[in-house]
Structure 1
Amino acid sequence: MSTIHKTPGVYIQELDAFGNAVVPVETAVPVFIGYTQNTSYGGESLLKQPIKISSFADFLTYFGSEAPHIKFDIAEDPAEDPDFSFGDKNYAIQAATVKYRLYGALKFFYANGGADCFVMSIGAYKDGLTKFDSTTPFTDALTLLKKESEPTMVVIPDLVEFEAADAYTIQNAMINHCGDDMPSRVALLDIPGGYEEKDIKESTVDKFRSGVSPINAKSNSYAAAYYPWLHTTIFQESDFSYKNLTDDAFQVLDKALRAEFNVSNAPVLDSTNKNGQKIFNKARDFDVKISYLTAQDYKGDYDAKKFPLFKKLGDDQAKERKMADDAIRNQSSFYTKVLDHVQRTLNLMPPSAGIAGVFTSVDSTEGVWKAPANVAMQSVIAPAIKINHDMQEDLNVPLDGKSVCAIRAFKGMGNMVWGARTLDGNSNDWRYINVRRTLIFLEQSIKQAAKAYVFAPNDANTWVNVQSMISNFLTGVWKQGGLVGPKPADAYSVSVGLGKTMTNDDIQNGRMIVAVKVAVSHPAEFIEITFQQEMQKA
């Protein structure tokens, strides 16, 4: 509206030459749900709140610097499946408490290129807990996440610790959350038990496909599953010690160490000290008399002159325990085998957290439209199950369409993500995870920009501005390789206006309808090279 001037003079009015622009939304911001060491920071509760972090150091600052002390039992001469032999006996190492996986998952995420993410703590570690009590804290967390718009991926590493049926319940909730409640994000799923195949009649993948059935089958395109589990190097030798052993394990360890070093006149391990704590000790009077561990031929009493490293430390229990642990670790092959197996057990990890890091890395370097596949995973030694060409046929193209992305080891290439399909593998529209995520990116970016025109006049001027805004954005995406076509007109089209996308009734009812068509890049999943001989020409 022009201004009526009443005083003579020169007046300047600035006019906008350009319309609003679409600001691209973030595409790789996972939210991790699970248990943590701390549930408060600076006197403020962190419980059931999505907290944004930018590094693993941030995670340690907010949620605690120690990995959960998962306890293990040592079984002597187990009925089946021994883990190793020592002397004339077999031994099995079994986790006696639940494996809290969020701490390791965050390390795995950042090892594979992770950046910003959210962490939602649903509770603190509970010492001695043998299994999770209920799936409710996880499903309730998904309900709370409806209030947070920024996350674009959902990862729940702990769900593999449930019985399979309960794990599928959580995964169904994840898919329903992404497909129905928050169609701006995708769920990254693990295969429960996907590290060994004991049942030759029904694999863990088959059980997963039967167990995962969201309310709306179309929601399957908002989820991708990865298989198998991975042997990693996330946890190091220094992360494990006597603290990871149960009371029962101490008894077996004591017996094995006395046999290894031919020591029978005194226990290598006192069962408890005066404060009720486990301690490595030779004598019952709490002195550190473990010198015989430094030389297998030493059988006498403690001699400070001959073995000056060890001396009486009084009531400095932590130092005594650490010294004894180091000595036994350095001298005992049996103890080393025990800790090595504990380390291998916890380094066997479901892949979803690492895959979230791969998504982040690929998005930042090439764009969300690039399939997050043919990428080597970091901090991975090998897949737990070797997959060959024939095995992957069913994973990739099953009859029910629930495709599972394989992780395979290739000589000279590494451990590669070798699949890029959603659980909606039979859909020509939503078969590939990069197609689904590209459409989410386009939809959410345009949706946020279009809010500027809510309550604007529903007339030709507004239609032109909206069409121009979206077209400029899509042209930029096309130039980056996100849309396919030799020219922009072949890559997308934007229509809005009376007689094009709206009727007079739409306008009267306040509806402005914009039709956007895009040609999204699909991955070259199958490359066929034809060879044919021809006659010699000279």
Structure 2
Amino acid sequence: MNLTTIKSPGVYINEKNAFGNSVVPVATAVPAFIGYTPQAEYEGKSYTNIPTKITSFAEFLTIFCYPNPPAPADPAKQYNPEYYLVKQKSKPEKGDYMLIGSDYYSILPDPNTIYYLYNSVRLFYDNGGGDAYIVSVGTYGKSSGKPISPGEQIVNPNVKLNDLKNGVALLKNEQEPTMYICPEATLLSVDNNGTLMQEMLLQNEDMQTAISIFDIIGGADPDPILYTEDIEAFRNNTGSNGLNYGAAYYPFIGTAIMQPSDIDYTNLFDGDIKKLEPLLNPSSDPNPTVASILSEIENSSGSLTVSQYSNSLTAASATYNTIMQHILTQVNILPPSGGMAGVITMTDNQIGPWKAPANTSIVGAVSLPIKLSSSQQENLNVDVVSGKSINAIRFFNGLGILVWGARTLDGNSMDWRYISVRRTMIFLEQSCKLAANAYVFEPNDKNTWESVKAMISSFLNSVWKQGGLQGASAADAFSVECGLGSTMTAEDILNGFMNVSIKVAVVRPAEFIVITFQQQMATSA
């Protein structure tokens, strides 16, 4: 209260704040998914290229997925990949295949119909996901009507580099996301994928609010010997900027996200029943029941739904059942980035960003396309040339599938080698930055300096008590300095600068545990 403004007699109350400002911790696990969705519209409003915050998978379904038709119709298919069975002269050396009669058939996708974002969001929420941002850069494109060649890397022409780059750029106006994820980046060419990753890292470095989680092209069906070529290509295409803001995981994971009810005969041969009939009802071994079912489907003379016809074919034909199992296995092989976003969210909620998101399982992961050994992981975890570490996802007998790596791409940096260190620093920096906004234009004097020091020290003390900083005492864990002669000169004050110096001892993971044993002579009691 300004006493000079009091003009008339009376009683006046002057309230004073007993407590200083406090630092409100920022959210640490808010991924932003950038990619293609079934649709992007709600109540007549388009959400294409609009970063949209969701809090549950139900919200994602409402805004970005097809609405379900009324019963008894089947639920709408949110993801509808197309596959072909292509007869081969001999046993295929690459890719998935099956034996029908005496002939080998490769099971090959139409690359134009392969997308990952929908199932990646499902995987995120299965692993404990919460708040997230969705940047839909478009809807699914048209099918090509033909499969890829056996062993060929899937490149979806409907997935455009500029679409994804623009989607990432839209996040420049969003301060809340702490992770950038582009599951469909691996459907680009190697060169375009590299360009996108470099753009993401540069934006992360500029904004200092988020990291990027990358998947590696070739991780879906790696060659047991030549998989190292995919690793080398990834490292060659990530550039050298902003590496401490990036983390990569390898290989892809086989999941149980999609169930048998999500796949049926419409996912074969672009829905052409005539091409499926020779496989299920061959002239050499006719199956009258299958023939009757296929005839009803082709002539639309039945009253059953697609799922009911599919169930009938499953019961009538072992071949159809086997085909569906193969396709289900393929569509369930997903990039791990969505699952890792969920793992990080769960770890943050239970402990904090200072806990490394490793030595934990990914809910829904049931298989791996390649089982890496300790010796194979060595070159992934430590790269003496570029220093670009890649985190392995491995299978252990008795333990199952575990995330077995906790490094950023900047593996040679003593400061920024670990994901947990990078993310803890983002958490501390952004929390203190937002709290310090309250002191912009305040008098640059000792009272303000002491208030800022007390506010930040109180926040860091609480983080230390939670285990986020190491040290036997608070003085060992952090220090905060602000004042004339310590962080500022008289000239700084004249120029309007208030410099705050914060030092923290961040917790680092025990990545290598060495136990030493030595024999000794027996001693008498």
TM-score by length of 1: 0.88
C-alpha contact 1:194 1:227 (8 A) present in aligned 2? yes
Residue in 1 that maps onto 2:426: 440
Q: What is the alpha-carbon distance in structure 1 between the residues aligned to residue 310 and residue 397 of structure 2?
A: 39
Distance 1:488 1:201, change over 3 A: closer
2:183 to 157, 170, 179: 157
Residue in 1 that maps onto 2:507: 521
Q: What is the alpha-carbon distance in structure 2 between the residues aligned to residue 533 and residue 382 of structure 1?
A: 42
Residue in 1 that maps onto 2:151: none
CA deviation map 1:421-446 (0-9, x unaligned):
00000000000000000000000000
Distance 1:233 1:487, change over 3 A: same
Please say if 1:194 is aligned against 2:219. yes
Letter in 1 for 2:258: F
Q: List aligned pairs for 1:78-157, cutoff 5 A.
A: 80-81=92-93, 83-96=97-110, 97-128=112-143, 131-132=157-158, 134-157=160-183
Distance 1:286 1:504, change over 3 A: closer
Q: Percent identity?
A: 43
Distance 1:529 1:283, change over 3 A: closer
Letter in 2 for 1:195: A
Residue in 1 that maps onto 2:193: 167
1:429 to 415, 423, 428: 415
Letter in 2 for 1:197: P
Q: List aligned pairs for 1:479-490, cutoff 5 A.
A: 479-490=465-476
CA deviation map 1:310-332 (0-9, x unaligned):
xxx4xx4xx26544322111121
Distance 1:458 1:260, change over 3 A: farther
Letter in 1 for 2:186: V
Letter in 2 for 1:221: N
Residue in 2 that maps onto 1:60: 61
Q: List aligned pairs for 1:234-245, cutoff 5 A.
A: 234-245=257-268
Q: What is the alpha-carbon distance in structure 2 between the residues aligned to residue 48 and residue 201 of structure 1?
A: 35
Q: What is the alpha-carbon distance in structure 2 between the residues aligned to residue 441 and residue 330 of structure 1?
A: 55
Residue in 2 that maps onto 1:231: 254
C-alpha contact 1:406 1:419 (8 A) present in aligned 2? yes
Residue in 1 that maps onto 2:69: none
1:210 to 218, 236, 249: 236
Q: What is the alpha-carbon distance in structure 1 between the residues aligned to residue 116 and residue 480 of structure 2?
A: 46
Residue in 2 that maps onto 1:25: 26
Q: List aligned pairs for 1:269-284, cutoff 5 A.
A: 280-281=294-295
* SS class of match (1:85): strand
C-alpha contact 1:39 1:46 (8 A) present in aligned 2? yes
CA deviation map 1:90-130 (0-9, x unaligned):
11111113311111001111111111101111111123155
508-517 vs 70-79, which moves further: 70-79
Q: What is the alpha-carbon distance in structure 2 between the residues aligned to residue 390 and residue 282 of structure 1?
A: 56
Letter in 2 for 1:406: A
Q: List aligned pairs for 1:454-473, cutoff 5 A.
A: 454-473=440-459
68-77 vs 519-528, which moves further: 68-77
* SS class of match (1:390): helix
Q: What is the alpha-carbon distance in structure 2 between the residues aligned to residue 392 and residue 321 of structure 1?
A: 45
Residue in 1 that maps onto 2:81: 70
Return 5+ residue gaps in structure 1 as ranges.
270-278, 288-312
Letter in 2 for 1:127: K
Distance 1:263 1:225, change over 3 A: same
Measure how far apart 1:264 and its partner are.
Answer: 8.4
Measure how far apart 1:505 and its partner are.
Answer: 0.9
Q: What is the alpha-carbon distance in structure 2 between the residues aligned to residue 6 and residue 146 of structure 1?
A: 51
Q: What is the alpha-carbon distance in structure 1 between the residues aligned to residue 395 and residue 126 of structure 2?
A: 18
C-alpha contact 1:98 1:131 (8 A) present in aligned 2? no
Distance 1:373 1:260, change over 3 A: farther
Q: What is the alpha-carbon distance in structure 2 between the residues aligned to residue 141 and residue 496 of structure 1?
A: 40
1:491 to 477, 480, 505: 477
C-alpha contact 1:38 1:124 (8 A) present in aligned 2? yes
